[in-house]
């Protein structure tokens, strides 16, 4: 039987097979942020093992709370910063160069097809958009990754999801992944890799593929994976110019991480998205998903556009399109946080920041902040946030608050309307 | 090897996520001990009082997909510093489960019938569960001398992690 993408990547990276289906893999990259890494660093120091396996393969960023909001978060940043300096970790993104990890690291070309990547962050699965095996891990796994450059995984089964048809107007990768999570359930892909394939994915930009893979973990998935193709090569082109003379050459090399025709899947699904409507979550679990029309009119206190799911330039463009020439409702406040300095700069150049400001949005700097209820837009008890993020857990954006997950288009339309609404309502209307 | 077991805390719900086990606002702590008082602070479960109900408990018994959501190892640490070194559930989220073994603690999966049985027959403040790792059985006792033994499976590798006291020691010795 042929092999899946994950199986091919496992074969190339296998270091040890300690028992049964447990595989210890060599790691191409270990990514770090200031929330989960300091405890690993402190523990390594305590054990007298303050070493790194390869400083050039470690990347670090301060992103969750940036700039620091209090002494504790300042200390977390300091521990990471001091450690990066001590070990000559060149790719350390301090305040000013920093952005949300899963948007920032791909932008710098650190993610390549066939790579193995871990990070102490559950949405590490985002990088699968490039055909990498990328998994979120806990601090101990991260600690061992930093020290030894290895991580243990059970050989995962793969679920293949073929996305067919074509996306209707106003429907985006976020709506697709929400509907998939609704279908699989929050543990439907536990310990599994999800391969996203089919014509709809082939047409998607890298940004959209990242949105898709980002939420694989909300169905329990270890990693979401899209197949490397010319879109991937073109995105990576500036970073791989010295490695490959032509695009074709790069593609030929990356092709070895494509699945075999007869790969063994645990489950294969086909989803036709031609009739898919914009989706939104309604409860405290990401699989509580329903069409926006079902939630139409639900009052909202805050709209948040940003995060590793939907804070990229493409997302800002989509939201700005809806907001252009309009003002957000007086009944709510809007916050946008471009996920990276690169996205921020582009948004500025394209006049998108101006559109947001004219509409009455607060433009925050790149940070996770509100997404996990730590800073820059925490909501009050009993408040409701319409958000382009990926988690609606009880208390996620602030104790006692409710989060409705949605696409940037839906979030922008909701900001204008003052309640949850479909972006297509704004499509053909001229702004007043 | 550490002894596993003690009084059981029953959390009768599926999909208990790590935000509920330890809310994100405490992720600014850089010591495990500081997490202690906040364990399960945001759990949405009817009638559950974190202050009272956690006291003196060493084991958690829950339903399916325990520990889903954020990868934060603060969740097992918050359990650890409260003296809870074993979670028994129908299933776990991958990262949480791995984190438990990486810390040298036990995350034991049992079929739904066994979990149902533990809830049905033993749910009480007196219930306790001990793990005999050598024989791979859980010894459960409850009210009025009621007892049961339920076999469990853990992989050789997970067992090796528990014996080594966690993944850091194991990996540093082996790779
Ligand atoms: S934006 Fe939100 S989900 Fe993404 S890494 Fe930051 S906290 Fe996690």
Residues shown for chain A: 432
What pLDDT is stored for residue A431 in this prediction? 55
Same domain for A212 and A312, yes or no, is no
Residue A338 CB-half CA count within 13 A = 22
State whether B23 and A395 contact (CB < 8 Å).
Answer: yes
Q: What is the mean pLDDT of residues B30-51?
A: 93
Confirm if B133 and B1 have CB atoms less than 8 A apart: yes
Q: Is residue A425 part of a domain?
A: no
Q: Is A62 in the pocket of ligand 1 (CB under 6 A)?
A: no
Same domain for A245 and A332, yes or no, is no
Same domain for A304 and A402, yes or no, is yes
Same domain for A111 and A228, yes or no, is yes
For position A11, which CATH number holds?
Answer: 3.30.499.10
Same domain for A311 and A215, yes or no, is no
At which of A228, A244, A271 does a domain end?
A271
| N-terminal to C-terminal alpha carbon distance within chain A | 61
Q: Is residue A89 part of a domain?
A: yes
Same domain for A61 and A129, yes or no, is yes
What pLDDT is stored for residue B10 in this prediction? 97
**pTM score above 0.90:** yes
Report how far residue A100's alpha carbon sits from residue A35's, in angstroms, rounded to the nearest whole number.
12
Name the token pair of A142: 């991260």
Point out the residue among A36, A152, A284 whose CB comes nearest to the CB of B72.
Answer: A36
Chain B residues closer than 8 Å to A121 by CB:
71
- For tokens 């958009």, what's the residue? A129
Confirm if A261 and A160 have CB atoms less than 8 A apart: no
Q: Which residues pair with A192 in a beta bridge?
A: A157
**Mutation for testing the A interface, residue in B33, B66, B73 having most A CBs under 10 Å:** B73
Q: Is residue A165 part of a domain?
A: yes
Same domain for A317 and A197, yes or no, is no
pLDDT in tens, A203-257: 999 999 999 999 999 999 999 999 999 999 999 999 999 999 999 999 999 999 9
- CA distances for A91 relative to A104, A278, A346, B102, B170, angstroms: 11, 38, 22, 28, 29
pLDDT in tens, A102-158: 999 999 999 999 999 999 999 999 999 999 999 999 999 999 999 999 999 999 999
Q: Is residue A428 part of a domain?
A: no
pLDDT in tens, A318-362: 999 999 999 999 999 999 999 999 999 999 999 999 999 999 999
| Ligand 1 center–CA B158 separation, angstroms | 29
Chain B residues closer than 8 Å to A42 by CB:
30-31
Q: Is residue A175 part of a domain?
A: yes
pLDDT in tens, A367-411: 999 999 999 999 999 999 999 999 999 989 999 999 999 999 999
What pLDDT is stored for residue A1 in this prediction? 87
The number of beta carbons lying within 10 Å of the beta carbon of residue A14 is 13
At which of A214, A248, A271 does a domain end?
A271
Average pLDDT, chain A: 96
Q: What's chain B look like in SS3? A: CCCEEEEEEEECCCCCEHHHHCCHHHHHCCCCHHHHHHCCCCCCCCCCCHHHHCCCCCEEEECCCECECCCCCHHHHHHHHCCCCEEEECCECHHHHHHHHHCCCEEEECCHHHHHHHHHHHCCCCCEEEEECCCCEEEEECHHHCEEEEECCCCHHHHHHHHHCCHHHHHHHHC
Domain ranges of chain B: 5-174
Report how far residue A407's alpha carbon sits from residue A363's, in angstroms, rounded to the nearest whole number.
18
Same domain for A161 and A298, yes or no, is no
Q: Which residues pair with B62 in a beta bridge?
A: B11
Report how far residue B171's alpha carbon sits from residue B165's, in angstroms, rounded to the nearest whole number.
11
| Ligand 1 center–CA B47 separation, angstroms | 31
Residues shown for chain B: 175
- For tokens 């906040």, what's the residue? B38
Element (H, E) at A266: none
Same domain for A398 and A298, yes or no, is yes
Boundaries of domain holding A21: 5-256+266-271
Confirm if A315 and A209 have CB atoms less than 8 A apart: no
Q: Is A214 in the pocket of ligand 1 (CB under 6 A)?
A: no
Alpha helices for A87-186 (secondary structure H): 101-107, 139-148, 173-184
Q: What is the DSSP letter of A370?
A: G
Report how far residue A412's alpha carbon sits from residue A415's, in angstroms, rounded to the nearest whole number.
5
Among residues 73-112 of chain B, which lie with CB inside 8 Å of chain A?
73-74, 76, 91, 93-96, 98-99, 102-103
Q: What superfamily in CATH does domain B5-174 come from? A: Aconitase, domain 4 (3.20.19.10)
Query: Is the predicted pLDDT of residue A20 greater than 90, yes or no?
Result: no
Among A37, A102, A213, A397, the mutation site with the greatest number of ligand 1 atoms within 8 A of its Cβ is A102
C-alpha torsion sign, points A109, A110, A115, A120: negative
Q: Check CB contact of B72 with chain A, cutoff 8 Å.
A: yes
Same domain for A246 and A321, yes or no, is no
Same domain for A223 and A344, yes or no, is no
C-alpha torsion sign, points A221, A222, A224, A227: negative
Total domain count for chain A? 2
Name the token pair of A68: 């620091």
Q: Is residue A432 part of a domain?
A: no
At which of A242, A271, A300 does a domain end?
A271
Neighbouring residues of A212: CB distance < 8 A, sequence distance ≥ 6? A129, A173, A176, A177, A196, A201, A204, A224, A226
What pLDDT is stored for residue B31 in this prediction? 86
pLDDT in tens, A65-115: 999 999 999 999 999 999 999 999 999 999 999 999 999 999 999 999 999
């Amino acid at each position: 039987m042929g092999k899946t993408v994950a199986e091919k990547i496992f074969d190339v990276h296998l270091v040890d097979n300690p028992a049964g289906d447990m595989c210890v893999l060599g790691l191409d990259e270990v990514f770090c942020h200031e929330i989960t890494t300091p405890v690993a660093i402190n523990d390594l120091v305590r054990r007298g093992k303050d070493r790194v396996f390869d400083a050039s393969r470690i990347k670090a960023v301060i992103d969750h709370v940036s700039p620091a909001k209090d002494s504790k978060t300042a200390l977390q940043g300091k521990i990471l910063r001091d450690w990066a300096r001590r070990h000559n970790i060149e790719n350390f993104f301090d305040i000013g160069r920093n952005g949300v990890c899963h948007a920032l690291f791909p932008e710098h070309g650190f993610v390549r097809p066939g790579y193995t990547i871990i990070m102490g962050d559950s949405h590490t699965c985002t990088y699968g958009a490039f055909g990498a095996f990328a998994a979120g891990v806990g601090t101990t796994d991260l600690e061992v990754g930093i020290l030894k450059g290895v991580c243990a995984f059970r050989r995962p089964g793969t679920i293949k999801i073929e996305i067919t048809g074509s996306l209707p107007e106003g429907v985006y990768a976020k709506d697709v992944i929400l509907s998939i999570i609704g279908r699989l359930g929050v543990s439907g892909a536990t310990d599994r890799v999800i391969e996203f394939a089919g014509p709809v994915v082939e047409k998607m930009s890298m940004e959209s593929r990242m949105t898709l893979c980002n939420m694989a973990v909300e169905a329990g998935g270890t990693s979401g994976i899209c197949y490397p193709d010319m879109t991937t090569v073109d995105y990576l082109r500036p970073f791989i110019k010295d490695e490959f003379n032509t695009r074709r050459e790069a593609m030929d090399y990356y092709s070895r991480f494509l699945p075999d025709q007869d790969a063994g899947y645990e489950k294969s699904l086909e989803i036709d998205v031609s009739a898919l409507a914009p989706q939104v979550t309604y409860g405290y679990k990401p699989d509580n998903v329903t069409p926006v029309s079902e939630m139409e009119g639900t009052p909202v206190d805050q709209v948040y556009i940003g995060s590793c799911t939907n804070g990229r330039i493409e997302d800002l463009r989509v939201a700005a399109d809806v907001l252009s020439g309009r003002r957000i409702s007086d009944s709510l406040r809007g916050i946008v946080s471009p996920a990276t300095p690169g996205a921020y700069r582009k948004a500025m150049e394209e006049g998108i920041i101006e559109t947001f400001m004219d509409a009455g949005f607060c433009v925050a700097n790149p940070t996770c902040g509100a997404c996990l209820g730590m800073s820059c837009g925490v909501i009050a008890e009993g408040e409701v946030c319409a958000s382009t993020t990926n988690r609606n857990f009880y208390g996620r954006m602030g104790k006692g608050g409710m989060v409705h997950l949605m696409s940037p288009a839906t979030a922008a339309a909701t900001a204008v309307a003052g309640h949850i609404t479909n972006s297509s309502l704004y499509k053909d209307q001229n702004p007043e | 090897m550490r002894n596993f077991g003690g009084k059981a805390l029953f959390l009768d719900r599926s999909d208990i996520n790590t935000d509920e086990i330890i809310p994100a606002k405490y992720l600014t702590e850089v010591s495990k001990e500081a997490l202690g008082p906040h364990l399960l602070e945001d759990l949405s479960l009817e009638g559950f009082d974190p202050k009272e109900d956690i006291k003196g408990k060493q084991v958690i018994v829950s339903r399916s997909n325990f520990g889903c959501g954020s990868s934060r190892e603060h969740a097992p640490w918050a359990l650890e510093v409260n003296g809870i070194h074993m979670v028994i559930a129908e299933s776990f989220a991958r990262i949480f489960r791995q984190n438990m073994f990486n810390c040298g603690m036990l995350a034991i999966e049992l079929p739904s019938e066994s979990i149902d049985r533990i809830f049905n027959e033993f749910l009480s403040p007196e219930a306790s569960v001990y793990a005999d790792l050598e024989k791979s059985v859980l010894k459960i006792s409850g009210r009025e001398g009621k007892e049961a033994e339920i076999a469990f499976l853990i992989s050789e590798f997970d067992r090796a992690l528990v014996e080594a006291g966690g993944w850091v020691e194991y990996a540093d010795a082996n790779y």
